[in-house]
Structure 1
Amino acid sequence: MQRKTVSRSARIVVTEKLICSARPTAVLELGAGDFSFESVRCQLSGTRWTKADFSPPGDVLCDFNRPDIHLPFADASFDMVIVTELLEHLLWPHLLLRECHRILRGRGCLIVSVPNCVSLSYRLAWVFGRVPSCAAAGNLPAPLGMTSYRSADGGTVAGHVIDFNLARLKALLVQEKFTPMCVRGNGLYWHRQWLPAWALPARLASNLIVKAVRVGGDV
């Protein structure tokens, strides 16, 4: 599977700060094939870090996009689950979050990020009659759709199928028994960083980054 290279963007920097602030001891990173948090793993010495994705590399291979999803981990196995730039690829993102709730301990931490379909740049694109680059496009081939990955046979898979704004993302988290605690944005990004994270409200940022805690039980 050909994966996109992920640079050390503002989204990653903001997410790393949220991860480090929680001081986790056992982390599961879902959709980890790009190794986007390599540097923060080095900072958290002693933390057990497990990487899962639908294709190599990774510690565990798992198909997240299925209605009968079951992550191959016991209940209460982790105190942090990281799900960045993954939910928008899934037909049933709520079912993946349900599994995250199961494998988290007590008030474990969930870190989520998604493209923001009502970001400032997206709003301008819609006004001028253009479909933004990260809007849901299924598995359309380039240049009709730019959100999928290229499979080994030359086809396209795992394109964006759901668009999120902050309200939808928070409602989804609450539905699956997570309390959003901290909302951040990555500023304005389109091919390059136009505005830093601090210069734009999260609701207008290119990507939404949320730190939430698990609700229910003392497991």
Structure 2
Amino acid sequence: MLTVDYERLGAQRGDRVLDLGCGAGRHAFESARRGCVTVASDRDPDELRSVTDMFAAMDDTGEIASQSAQRLAHAVVADATSLPYADASFDRIIAAEVLEHIVDDERAIAELARVLRPGGTIAVTVPAPAAERVCWALSGDYHAPKVPDGHVRIYSSGELRAKLAAAGLYVSDSHGAHGLHTPYWWLRCLVGPRNDSHPLVRAYHRLLVWDITAAPPLTRTLDRLLSAVLPKSTVLYAYKASARTNAASGAELVGDSHAS
């Protein structure tokens, strides 16, 4: 289940892509499938071991076009506030559902801006404020400090845009995502976020799995409608200005590749 729209991100074959806070690797795998040189980064080495195994399996089955999985796609343990990469290392960056976990999010955003090349694009996703406020109100166990590495903030509608702009990243597009998941998380918070065995939670989870695997028109349409009015996630696409553009004209760079 992808949150980021790769067409809006402008990712093309051969692009260098960083998936920061990759978790189980969903966006990193899609980047590799598209022929991007992909780095999956996360603080959790256990997550990255499974991501590395999947990269190897994808290479073995020919799912990614590379002479070796290590050359096209690899995983690196990294701290978002001190990235082990040189300036302007990446053409595209994905930071999906990660910044809400980081206490010093401004430093992490500055690091993302540093390693993004001029003219490159970044997709940042965070929990949408309306849906997230209900989750926090329903359950103290949903967020930090009760949950280790849990959510430490709720981004207001303009806060993330302002923080990206302060780092030299200019938002060119945005949309909501995963509206069908909003009631699911409200339900989980209501019965207890760790109560995976609750019959209503299990039933709703089966619905979401069916939606992801079968993509039936009914649930896909419902998800689009809910994503427009009550999304679970907000997705922002931003660019880093290059020598031949500025904040006023930079939206056209979303489809640009390998410029410097």
Calculate the TM-score normalised by the size of structure 1. 0.71
Change (3 A) 1:18 1:60: same
CA contact (8 A) 2:180 2:226 kept: yes
CA contact (8 A) 2:28 2:39 kept: no
Paired with 1:50 and 1:82, the residues of 2 have a C-alpha distance of 10
> Partner residue of 2:38?
49
Structure 2 residue aligned with 1:83, among 95, 120, 133? Answer: 95
Q: What is the Cα deviation at residue 97 of structure 1? A: 1.0
> Partner residue of 1:63?
79
Q: What is the Cα deviation at residue 40 of structure 1? A: 1.7
Q: What is the Cα deviation at residue 169 of structure 1? A: 1.7
| Structure with more of its chain in strand, by fraction | 1
Name the SS of the counterpart of 1:37 in structure 2. Answer: helix
> Partner residue of 2:211?
none
Name the SS of the counterpart of 2:121 in structure 1. Answer: strand
Q: What is the Cα deviation at residue 196 of structure 1? A: 3.8
- In structure 2, list runs of 5 or more residues that go unmatched: 49-74, 185-203, 209-218, 245-259
The letter for the 2-side match of 1:182 is: D
Q: What is the Cα deviation at residue 172 of structure 1? A: 1.6
2:137 matched to 1:131?
yes
| % identical aligned pairs | 25
The letter for the 2-side match of 1:34 is: A
The letter for the 1-side match of 2:77 is: L
Paired with 2:102 and 2:230, the residues of 1 have a C-alpha distance of 23
> Partner residue of 1:40?
30
| Structure with more of its chain in helix, by fraction | 2
> Partner residue of 2:233?
207
The letter for the 2-side match of 1:108 is: G
> Partner residue of 1:184?
175
The letter for the 2-side match of 1:198 is: R
CA contact (8 A) 2:175 2:236 kept: yes
Aligned ranges 1:153-172 → 2 under 5 Å: 157-172=148-163
The letter for the 1-side match of 2:150 is: G
> Partner residue of 1:23?
12
The letter for the 2-side match of 1:80 is: R
Paired with 2:226 and 2:151, the residues of 1 have a C-alpha distance of 25
Number of equivalences? 182
Paired with 2:127 and 2:106, the residues of 1 have a C-alpha distance of 17
